[in-house]
Amino acid sequence: MILLAIQIMKIALLVFSPLLQEFLGCLDCGDKDGSICFSIFGIFPIGKINIHKLSIPTPFANEEATYRLLNASISKVALSKDLCHLIVMCSGELNQDEVESPERKLCIHGLHGLHCLLLDTSIFWKRKNELHQVAQQASNIEDLIEVIRTSLSIMSKQWSDAMHTFHEKFDSLSSLIIDHGLDSSPQEEFLSLLGGARTSPPVHQFLVNSLGELGVKRVSKVVCGAGKELQNIVLDHLQPAAEIIVFRMGELRGLSRWRTRFKGIGLDETLIDNATEKSGMLLVQVERFMRVLSSVVQQFSNFFNWLLKCIKLLMQEPSDQLLPYNSELLVIFLKFLYDQDPIKPFLEPSEVDIETDMETLQRVRELVHFGGFSDCGYLRRTLAEEFQQMESSFKEAFLMPFTTISCKILCKGVLPLFALPSSPASMSLSLPMSVTYYKVCILFDSSATMFSLFLLKDGSTTLSPYQTREHGFIDYISFQIPGDSSSDIANCIGISRGFMHSLSNSTEESNLEAILLSVPDGYHCVDLSLYKEGQIVLLLNETTAASESSGESCMMIVQANDLPFVSISRSTFIDLWNLNQLKDSVRYLQLENEKVRIIPHSVVAPLAVSASRGVACVFAARKRALVYILDEDEDNVSDTE
């Protein structure tokens, strides 16, 4: 039976492992300060880098030089579908790093403009299964931590309100005692009444006139009701969350001991062990809090029952139907709980330690030899303090994978796109740009060290006996070149493809190709987006419009596969693409030669395109959302105000 179960588990792993790989979603986002954050499932942070600190290797004249980007601001980031590469489009100044390579000084200095970086993120693909398992457990724990934090906050608020109501009613007794010229405390007066002495005038006035039977019942309902509500929150939310955290941490503890697989992503066994112990301590504190809460609620209820009986006796009314009270509990309440709140420190961080007798402490220390908690200090901590320590240990444990993954994300190369003026305005310049990865077929020739790339269309490609086919992805990068970058290429759209493969290819022949598209006269590009099957959608506005809200616009769909791309050598990367060479191969777009949708409104960015649904959404200057079906020839438009 055991062997059969093992075989079933192996089959299940083979079946579901590819599905798990597909569900490893990694969210990447960049900001204007140059930071890029990576999150698995979009919620669990797994890495962070800053492009200002990246060492950028640049092949130039057969010499390896290292560069850095100064004052860089990220415009767009795009992670490849296989998670192995990240393309970053950013503006900044590319300078040689003289600290790392002072002996190699090239003639290029201070290239300020729009640059394209290629980052190696293959760690996400190589360790996708490990990252999936860790992120799944850790993100679940983070959700449960929020449940506990919210529960503690609600419990603290409810109990604080209940204590405020109690003191609001009973603090008036102290004033009555002072007004009658007595030198005693409310506790002493109540103890005297409990002992059978004559009721003092302030106590009589307080019980009969100030508080009364209805007042006692009202306060009892508030305080005891809050206690019951706290118990329900613990049993329904806080305790189950704490138990599941202990279970999840136990699973992470087992993963951390599989060093050959999980040490490579920074899962440290010692830190996980510490977090596991802290989660167990939290569960102990929950049980401890429940005992204290139950005792306090019981003593409050006993105190209120006694007050009701006293009021009935003072009013000379029958008290046979009232609940009985315990005199011993009443004495303990008046001595230790009347003017103190033992619940509040458990729910809020406090500097007051819980008193623990030496006998209990010694017993706990002896349990360490039998697998008990090594940190006996939890006996002096409250529930809120234990929660803070558990959360801190969890963050510390997962700071190691965060740091480890961040260090393994490196820059493979840079592609300067075009120059920008060195002014503060250019740093915040917003230009239309897009990065997309399309599935391609890579043909390898077994008789030579050459391969070619083409987009998959119908899958009917015929291969020679010496060729093999492997599926991969190719990057398409499109961007608008601002008018002040070069007078010869003003109002142009630049498109490159193969940047990712040009740095991965070990042969001298580069796979980087580029082309310039000239926007039709009378129009300027508002936004652009790469579409399915290598198509590019351009959103154009009339340049001659009297105002931004007047005139018309259009969407132009360009088939990128059919464009006459020009091969770019890797040795000219640092020379701003040799735009003087590309200007001779500019393709001039004409409205009548392309697939165009006329929009009877002036439009603004952004352009939203869905390749799976075949629709595009644009926003008119007159606050309208226009939805177009791109795959149909007729104009199917849905306007939404």
pLDDT at 622: 72
pLDDT at 364: 61
pLDDT at 221: 95
Asked if residue 102 has a cis previous peptide bond (ω within 30° of 0), the answer is no
Cα separation, 523 vs 542, in Å, equals 4
Q: Which two tokens stand for residue 474?
A: 């190719």
Question: Which of 486, 501, 509 has its CA nearest to residue 582?
Answer: 486
Cα separation, 215 vs 344, in Å, equals 24
Cα separation, 291 vs 285, in Å, equals 10
pLDDT at 274: 92
Cα separation, 76 vs 53, in Å, equals 18
Q: Using H for helix, E for strand and C for coil, what is the string for 38-62?
A: EEECCCEEEEEEEHHHCCEEEEECC
How is residue 586 annotated by DSSP?
A: P
Q: Which two tokens stand for residue 546?
A: 């009297």
Q: Which two tokens stand for residue 373?
A: 């908690």
User: What are the CA-CA distances from residue 348 to residues 117, 166, 219, 295 (Å)?
Assistant: 48, 19, 23, 19
Cα separation, 60 vs 572, in Å, equals 8
Q: Which two tokens stand for residue 395?
A: 């963050």
Phi then psi dihedrals of residue 43, to 5 deg: -130, -25
**Torsion of the alpha carbons at 147, 153, 159 and 163, rounded to the nearest 10:** 180
Q: Which two tokens stand for residue 53?
A: 């600190």
Cα separation, 555 vs 526, in Å, equals 10
User: What are the CA-CA distances from residue 480 to residues 433, 511, 566 (Å)?
Assistant: 6, 22, 18
Strands (E), 446-570: 451-455, 467-481, 492-497, 513-518, 523-530, 535-542, 553-559, 566-567
Cα separation, 621 vs 214, in Å, equals 66
Q: Which two tokens stand for residue 105?
A: 């000084």
Phi then psi dihedrals of residue 547, to 5 deg: -150, 170
What is the DSSP track for 144-187?
HHHHHHHHHHHHHHHHHHHHHHHHHHHTHHHHHHHHTT----HH
Inter-residue contact 115 to 34 (CB < 8 Å)? no
Phi then psi dihedrals of residue 99, to 5 deg: -70, -45
Burial 418-432 (b: 16+ CB within 10 A, else e): bbbeeeeebeeeebb
Helix and strand numbers (H, E) in the chain are: 17, 23
CA 417 to chain centre: 31
Parse the chain into domains and list their residue ranges.
Answer: 26-121+410-421, 128-356+382-405, 431-592
Alpha helices in 442-549 (DSSP H): 499-504
Inter-residue contact 519 to 591 (CB < 8 Å)? no
Q: Which two tokens stand for residue 224?
A: 């005891």
Cα separation, 482 vs 497, in Å, equals 20
Cα separation, 275 vs 141, in Å, equals 11
Q: Which portions of the chain are predicted below pLDDT 70?
A: 1-24, 58-65, 98-110, 350-379, 422-429, 441-471, 483-488, 504-510, 545-550, 569-581, 632-641
What is the DSSP track for 195-214?
TTPPPPHHHHHIIIIIIHHH
Q: Which two tokens stand for residue 67?
A: 């560069």
pTM (two decimals): 0.77
Contacts with 184 (C-beta within 8 Å, 6 or more apart), sequence order? 177
pLDDT at 447: 45
Cα separation, 169 vs 548, in Å, equals 67
For residue 540, give the 3-state DSSP assignment.
Answer: strand
How is residue 323 annotated by DSSP?
A: P
CA 122 to chain centre: 21
Cα separation, 347 vs 382, in Å, equals 8
Inter-residue contact 123 to 409 (CB < 8 Å)? yes
Inter-residue contact 54 to 69 (CB < 8 Å)? yes
Sign of CA dihedral 231, 233, 235, 240: negative
Sign of CA dihedral 315, 317, 319, 321: negative
Q: Which two tokens stand for residue 632?
A: 């149909």
Q: Which two tokens stand for residue 147?
A: 């449940």
> Pairing state of beta strands 85-96 and 111-120?
antiparallel
Cα separation, 199 vs 73, in Å, equals 79
How is residue 284 annotated by DSSP?
A: H
For residue 588, give the 3-state DSSP assignment.
Answer: strand
